[in-house]
Amino acid sequence: MSVVSSIQSDVDLSSYNTFALAAKAKHFVELKHAKDIKELIAWAGAKQLPWMVIGGGSNLLLLEDFSGLVIINQMRGIEVIENADSYTIKAAAGEDWHQFVQWTISQGMPGLENLALIPGTVGASPVQNIGAYGVELADLCSEVEFYSLVTNSMQTLSKKQCEFAYRDSIFKAQLKDQVIISKVTFELSKSWVAKRDYGGLRLLAEDVSAQGVFDQVCKMRISKLPEPKVLGNAGSFFKNPLVSQDHLSRLLSRYPEMPNYPASKGQSKLAAGWLIDKLGLKGFSIGGAAVHQDQALVLVNKANAEAGDILTLCRHIRQQVWQSFAVLLQPEVRFIKHSGEIEPSAVLGKPDAAE
């Protein structure tokens, strides 16, 4: 049976985005096999429709109904190749990310444990170059397979070619809207060393196991982040901002307790959640949207929020942080309008007096 025959119309997307925002897809289909990608894209192209792939729906802000084809990534499968000093793991893009991490630990293949409980799918992980507790996907990803809309064929990029950066990759830049990721390959060394030099992980013993790190990461994330099925959210809403050394020095002269971390190109990374918390915004709400009472970096759908509520709350937070710290917060979530993803600045604008 052709995959096109399974396309549905006017489907509610509230259960396909973790903010639980009410939005509809004009057309909707579940993608279970990579071989069907070409047919789906050809169908959308013939009808001149925009298309969008959703994995776990955990990093999306649906601003309105989507006028094209929403493709739900349901591709599954894991292949393991054991090498002399490492494991090569090829995971299909539709695999649940946390379940995949949990599976690798249970199979005695450590390395991904710091990235436990990050919502979403394997296919979404290289787009954002997900990271947590001192580890980024780029540290462990060796290549990404995808369908190219330019060549109408499957292609593979090496880790270097993916151009990974902080919460960024080639898939958000040159290849944006030009590929559908089908598989991600990881290289996990057998010479495992625990990465425990970040936050609460420093409390772990020297001889801690990968399972021990996994359990501690899960414990910390659960204590800080609300469960989306209980309280709609998209995880961390803002990126941790980067500032120059001069700017950092000025801030530390006023706030010596301000957390900061070395970054590339002589910059330093600040904790966006700390900045928001310092302004007393935990629990602050606008309409049905609110800053989570325990984690300032998370915006939540507290009471049947509309996308406009979240946008207004986001603008307010950015304005307050700019006025107090001269730091411009950038959203980490993807903003989606009726025809596809847009730059957040297109709807947020800039805080007053920001250049």
Active site residues: 167, 236, 332
How many other CB atoms are there within 10 angstroms of residue 177's CB atom? 12
How would you label 79-89 residue by residue, b for 16+ Cβ within 10 Å and e otherwise?
eeeeeeebbeb
CA distance 168 to 39: 29
Q: What are the Cα distances from residue 162, in Å, to 32, 55, 80, 171, 194?
A: 24, 20, 22, 7, 26
Alpha carbons within 13 angstroms on the beta-carbon side of residue 152 total 6
What residue spans of 28-76 are helical by DSSP H? 37-46
How many other CB atoms are there within 10 angstroms of residue 179's CB atom? 22
CA distance 252 to 82: 48
CA distance 179 to 168: 15
Query: Which pair of tokens denotes residue 115?
Result: 């990235």
Which residue, chain included where needed, has tokens 């001149």? 48
DSSP string across 119-166: -SBGGGHHHHT-EETTEEGGGTEEEEEEEETTTTEEEEEETGGGT-BT
| Nearest 10 degrees: Cα torsion 14, 17, 21, 23 | -60
Q: Which amino acid is at 161?
A: Q
